[in-house]
Amino acid sequence: MSSVSSNMKGFYRQKKNTITNKSSNKPPIHDAALSPSTTAHADEYNENETMLRQFDMNMAYGPCVGMSRKERLERAQKLGLNPPIEIKKLLENEKVQSQSLWDGSI
Amino acid sequence: MGMEKEKNLHRLQCSYASLDESFEISKESYRGQQYSHIYYARLNLMRSLLYSLVSNWKPFSPVCPVLELEEGKECVIIGTLYKHMKLKPRVLDEYSKEKSTIPLVKPHNFIHSDDYLILEDEKGRVKLGGNFISPSVYATGVVVALHGKESGAGDFLVLDVLEAGLPPQIDRPLKSREDKYVVFLSGLSIGRSNSNPLQFQLLIDHITGHLGDEMEQSIASQIVHVIIAGNSVEIPPGLLNGQNLASKDLSRIAEPIKELDIMLNQIAAGLPLDIMPGPNDPSNFALPQQPLHRCLFPGSSAYNTFRSCTNPHCFELDNVRFLGTAGQNVDDLDKYSEAKDKLEFMERTLRWRHLAPTAPNTLGCYPYTDKDPFLIDICPHVYFVGNQNKYETRIIKGSEGQLVRLICVPKFNETGVAVVLNLKDLECHALSFGTQLSS
């Protein structure tokens, strides 16, 4: 699954570049004001965020728009899908972005 | 009860348990979630159920995801059906340049001989071919398992279909009891220009035991519960046009509800009454519809026998399990699929284990994220839908001995028919009222 998600992430970045280049009248997808961890040029996020984004993009746990990462994790647990325990730890203990990577961009 | 004559008649009672919890919207909130979540939840819950059935059904065929299909290899795929419909109205149609090529829509439904089915899982979708699976029977949103193989053209040739089948049922208490009757009503449409208050008053007098001789009253005393399955009022058309209302119109809008309250007051004074909202009632549009607010019924809501319930509504009377809707689910299936009668639609929803498969596609529905409240886990003993054109009923049997009484409750305003069900043996008959004097 990790290969799929990393492909998707590459896709995501390319797409974002084209949008920011072409449409000058629209604001970039991730506004800097939104939150520090999803800045407009999202190269700065750390390892935790990388893992969480891979979790966001893992289609086995369903769509991620419109619910927080924690809710999505809980849903996956409820459906018996055994989501990775690391994600749970991250969301509970670390100071991480609580919304999925698409939050605020749709 | 005002039934004292020579001897006192006592109304029978029965125990009641509301099971509406899953249909109540309390903590849910809208945070931009889309309908993909409800399909995801539905597919996941149904798939784990179908997995357990597949091993008995096709023990030698592997289950594989849509994207891993190989040409000519027989296998089982599980996913959500999507029905591509030529005639289904789309918002973009009015901007289409080729208007004339779209055939005219039949007045009653949107099916067309060119419709075809597509099976989707999380990652892929495949068009279904072959004559085994008929698109007119199925509707968008149904989860099934299919056995077949990929044909050369990239279609999936369906050789067999597995539906989840009737859910498991809790046994009905067998000890033989006295006759107890439950009355179903729907489509009172109070406030419509042709509404006939006398007809409804006759019904009320009958069930409260104010009508007929002692024989009839003793039957009336065996009625233990009344269920009103939606569309109790009809707001006069033309009033709700988006404009601000004049004060005299405000009172006109409230009139049907006031009248309903007066009528229900008489029932609630005598026996328990459940009222469900329907598409015309002042409740929310999207399923599950929330209970009509108590302040709409200042008179009746003073009684603890008066219960305002959700639509769909699930409850137990003396451990007999009831499930029902105001009819939206079946009416919508009627627009997008075909059956010989409404009961067949009802039977299908039970076999698909989903009350309203076309929600959220063509039927309004709350955007749940972590569950699908319309999945039927436990088979009801009585399954009813309101606001149908005529009274129909049938008993269906499941493979594990489940027994379900299906009831189409007709619109009372148009037919003058209420439905009476005997809790003892689930026998059912119509109760017909007329106010015309025959000449």
CA pair distance A101, B363, nearest whole angstrom:
30
Residue corresponding to tokens 């495949």: B126
Sign of the Cα torsion A102, A68, A51, B372 reads: negative
The predicted structure's pLDDT at residue B12: 87
The predicted structure's pLDDT at residue A69: 87
Average pLDDT on B52-67 reads: 87
Lowest mean pLDDT among B173-177, B315-319, B373-377, B429-433: B173-177
CA pair distance B300, B260, nearest whole angstrom:
9
**What does the pLDDT look like over B208-241, one tens digit per residue?**
988 888 888 888 899 999 999 999 998 877 777 7
Strands (E), B115-272: 116-120, 125-129, 143-150, 156-162, 181-185, 223-229
**Can you say how many angstroms the Cα of residue B324 is from the centroid of all Cα atoms in its chain?**
5
The three-state DSSP-derived secondary structure of B60-88 is CCCECCHHHCCECCCEEEEEEEEEECCCC
The whole-angstrom distance between A67's CA and the closest CA on chain B is 7
pTM of the model: 0.83
CA pair distance B41, B269, nearest whole angstrom:
43
Token couple for B134? 């008929």
Q: Residue B374, class by beta-carbon neighbours within 10 Å (0-12 exposed, 13-18 middle, 19+ buried)?
A: buried
The end-to-end CA distance of chain B, in Å, is: 36
CA pair distance B185, B273, nearest whole angstrom:
11
Which of A59, A67, A80 has the CB atom closest to B33's CB atom? A67
pLDDT exceeds 90 at position B177: no
Q: Looking at chain A, which residue has its C-alpha nearest residue B370?
A: A75
Partner A contacted by B36 (CB < 8 A) = yes
Partner B contacted by A70 (CB < 8 A) = no
Kindly state the DSSP code that residue B295 receives in the 8-state scheme: G
The predicted structure's pLDDT at residue A96: 77
The predicted structure's pLDDT at residue B438: 57
Partner B contacted by A66 (CB < 8 A) = yes
Partner A contacted by B120 (CB < 8 A) = no
Question: Would you list the domain boundaries of chain A?
Answer: 1-8+44-106
pLDDT under 50 in chain A at which residues? Answer: 1-6, 14-41
Tell me the chain A residues in contact with residue B31 when contact means C-beta distances shorter than 8 Å. Answer: 66-67
Domains and CATH numbers, chain B: 16-27+169-432 (3.60.21.50), 36-162 (2.40.50.430)
Q: What SS3 state is found at B429?
A: strand
Average pLDDT on B325-340 reads: 91
CA pair distance A29, B84, nearest whole angstrom:
33
Tell me the chain B residues in contact with residue A67 when contact means C-beta distances shorter than 8 Å. Answer: 31, 33, 37, 369-370
pLDDT exceeds 80 at position B375: yes
CA pair distance B193, B405, nearest whole angstrom:
34
CA pair distance A67, B32, nearest whole angstrom:
8
pLDDT exceeds 50 at position B395: yes
**What does the pLDDT look like over B113-171, one tens digit per residue?**
888 999 998 888 999 988 888 888 999 999 999 999 888 888 899 999 999 889 999 88
Partner B contacted by A26 (CB < 8 A) = no
**What does the pLDDT look like over B359-373, one tens digit per residue?**
898 899 998 888 899
Q: What SS3 state is found at B157?
A: strand
Which residues 6+ apart lie within 8 Å of B32 measured at CB? Answer: A65, A66, A106
